[in-house]
Structures are given as structure tokens and as C-alpha cells.
Amino acid sequence: MIDERHVMVRTEGNGVESLFECSVEGCGRRLTFDHIGGRMTVLDRGYESALHEGSSGLASVSGAVRTGLRGIL
């Protein structure tokens, strides 16, 4: 069950890869998104019970972390 929703904000990017950080103070979720390969890598999990969503204008991401799984969006 999703307890809350957090917005991920694109803080860096070069057109190939973007860094997203959670805008909720204290959460700390950070991830990179590879625009070419469509892969997302979570650097810091933050609050795992929250649904994290955001957009770079070119791609939209949302979902939950699944430990050990790696896939294409």
C-alpha cells in the first residue's frame, strides 16, 4: 500500500542521463535515468513506502524500488 506520494525533481542532466532527487525534505531518494537505454538506477532509496514520480519533459518515471530487479522502463 502506498502511504504517500513524493515528487522527484530533475536536478542535473545532459540529454543522455538525468539525475532526479526527491523534493520531500528528509527523504533523500536519488536516481539516474538513462534516456538512451531507458534504464533507471536508484542511488539512494529514501522513504520506500512512498510512490515517487517525476518528469524531465522527455520521460516520465514513477514506481517503487524492487530489490534485486533491473529492467527497462
pLDDT exceeds 60 at position 72: no
Residue 56 amino acid letter: S
Q: Is residue 68 part of a domain?
A: no
pLDDT for residue 73: 38
- Let me know if residue 73 belongs to a domain: no
Mean pLDDT over the full length of the chain: 81
Domain annotation covers residue 57: yes
What pLDDT does residue 55 have? 80
Domain contains 10: yes
Domain count within the chain = 1
Domain that holds residue 52: 4-63
Exposure b/e, 32-54, CB count within 10 A at least 16 = b: ebeeeeeebeeeeebbeebebeb
Share of the chain above pLDDT 70, in %: 74
- The answer to whether residue 58 is domain-embedded is yes
